[in-house]
């Protein structure tokens, strides 16, 4: 490459190469293009340098957020490695000066009463919402009863529902792996009622989405659901108990997982065996993602600590 080559052309070459190997790079691709434009707009010439990379990482508009800076910098690392193979003068930080790139904040764990209140309020949401009084109660109820990711629920098609067998097929998963999710009889009954009303409103084929916009008749989007969710939680005056600044739709998934673990721990179930089953059910690729809840959710930690103390007392202590 010569000095006249722009950073944007380098980025486009890199992304074309990686995508030819099968990588999608949607979010990372946007960020790398953002960096390239940032560098070109500031007159940066020559090879990628640590200085321009660090300046871009801190130019996110977020004040004093090293975690965000660290993640932005790590997105550039494979790009820098690619460029270094052709441009020996490429420089990039060997370690991340901004610290860790991974953190998980404690989620808001809904009580049964809160979930009931959410569903009840969803029945009263304004009809002008795309996710209105038909779609939103069913969506909240399904997420709470199964622990699906919101993307998985919105990706469901009518042909994915097998209510006779009490199960649904999840195709659009986070990691591209299909899985079957068993349904409780009460969930099956609720879905049957919802589908009866839904099919009376929309003329659909089996390949159509389960959740539709009540305004356009098209597939319900995440933003449709989020706007309705925001209105519902605001009307209920819900305040987050976890580490996040707001009560999120994704907390329904966290709550499902935690309630199941709490029930198993309280009943004295074999947690290791149960964890394997739960991890598969909710679509975790790494079992550590399921165990994370025990160490990060106060209710689960308290139960785990109590069981450990009981085992130590009745088992004769740690020295036996």
In tens digits, what is the pLDDT along the chain, a chain of 320 residues? 444 689 999 999 999 999 999 888 888 999 999 999 999 999 999 999 999 999 999 986 655 678 888 889 999 999 999 999 999 999 999 988 887 766 677 889 899 999 999 999 999 987 667 889 999 999 999 999 999 999 999 999 999 999 999 999 998 776 667 899 999 999 999 999 999 999 999 988 999 999 999 988 899 999 999 999 999 999 999 999 888 889 999 999 999 988 888 888 777 777 778 888 888 888 887 777 777 776 666 666 555 455 444 444 444 443 33
Q: Rounded CA gap, 24 and 261, in Å? A: 35
Q: How many domains does the chain have?
A: 3
Domain enclosing residue 265, as ranges? 253-314
Indicate if 22 and 124 belong to the same structural domain. Answer: no
- The predicted structure's pLDDT at residue 144: 96
Indicate if 291 and 193 belong to the same structural domain. Answer: no
Indicate if 116 and 198 belong to the same structural domain. Answer: yes
**188: in domain:** yes
- The predicted structure's pLDDT at residue 317: 41
Domain's final residue, options 218, 244, 270: 244
Q: Rounded CA gap, 46 and 292, in Å? A: 44
**98: in domain:** no
Phi, psi for residue 55 in degrees, rounded to 5: -65, -40
Indicate if 286 and 304 belong to the same structural domain. Answer: yes
- The predicted structure's pLDDT at residue 313: 40
- The predicted structure's pLDDT at residue 297: 65
Indicate if 138 and 226 belong to the same structural domain. Answer: yes
Count CA atoms closer than 13 A to 23's CA, side-chain side: 12
Looking at the chain, list the stretches that DSSP marks H as alpha helix, in order from N- to C-terminal side: 7-20, 26-41, 50-57, 66-84, 112-122, 135-146, 150-154, 185-201, 222-236, 251-267, 271-282, 287-296, 298-314
**105: in domain:** no
Domain's final residue, options 186, 217, 244: 244
Indicate if 271 and 154 belong to the same structural domain. Answer: no
**175: in domain:** yes
**101: in domain:** no
Indicate if 78 and 119 belong to the same structural domain. Answer: no
Closest CA to 236 of 108, 144, 115: 115
Indicate if 213 and 292 belong to the same structural domain. Answer: no
Domain's final residue, options 84, 102, 136: 84
**319: in domain:** no
Indicate if 127 and 187 belong to the same structural domain. Answer: yes
* Residue keyed to tokens 């890199």: 14
- The predicted structure's pLDDT at residue 290: 77
Indicate if 131 and 220 belong to the same structural domain. Answer: yes
**320: in domain:** no
């Amino acid at each position: 490459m010569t000095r006249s080559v722009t950073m944007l052309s380098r980025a486009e070459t890199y992304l074309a190469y990686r995508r030819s190997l099968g990588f999608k790079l949607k979010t990372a691709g946007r960020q790398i293009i953002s960096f390239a434009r940032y560098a070109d707009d500031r007159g940066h010439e020559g090879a990628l340098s640590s200085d321009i990379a660090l300046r871009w990482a801190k130019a996110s508009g977020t004040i004093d957020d090293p975690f965000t800076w660290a993640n932005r910098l790590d997105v550039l690392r494979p790009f820098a490695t690619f460029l270094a193979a052709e441009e020996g003068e490429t420089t990039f930080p060997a370690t991340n000066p901004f610290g860790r790139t991974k953190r998980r904040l404690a989620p808001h764990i809904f009580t049964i009463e809160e979930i009931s209140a959410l569903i009840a309020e969803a029945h009263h949401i304004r009809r002008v919402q795309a996710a209105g009084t038909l779609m939103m109660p069913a969506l909240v109820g399904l997420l709470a009863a199964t622990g699906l990711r919101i993307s998985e629920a919105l990706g469901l098609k009518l042909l994915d529902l097998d209510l006779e067998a009490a199960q649904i097929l999840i195709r659009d998963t986070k990691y591209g792996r299909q899985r079957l999710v068993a349904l409780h009889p009460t969930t099956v009954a609720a879905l049957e009622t919802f589908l009866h009303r839904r099919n009376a409103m929309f003329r659909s084929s089996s390949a159509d989405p389960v959740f539709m916009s009540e305004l356009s008749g098209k597939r319900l989007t995440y933003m449709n659901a989020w706007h309705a969710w925001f209105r519902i939680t605001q009307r209920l005056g819900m305040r987050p108990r976890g580490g996040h600044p707001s009560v999120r739709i994704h907390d329904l998934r966290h709550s499902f997982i935690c309630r199941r673990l709490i029930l198993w721990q309280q009943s004295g179930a074999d947690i290791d065996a149960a964890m394997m089953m739960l991890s598969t059910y909710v679509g975790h690729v790494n079992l550590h993602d399921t165990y994370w809840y025990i160490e990060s959710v106060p209710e689960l930690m308290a139960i785990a600590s109590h069981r450990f103390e009981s085992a130590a007392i009745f088992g004769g202590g740690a020295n036996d």
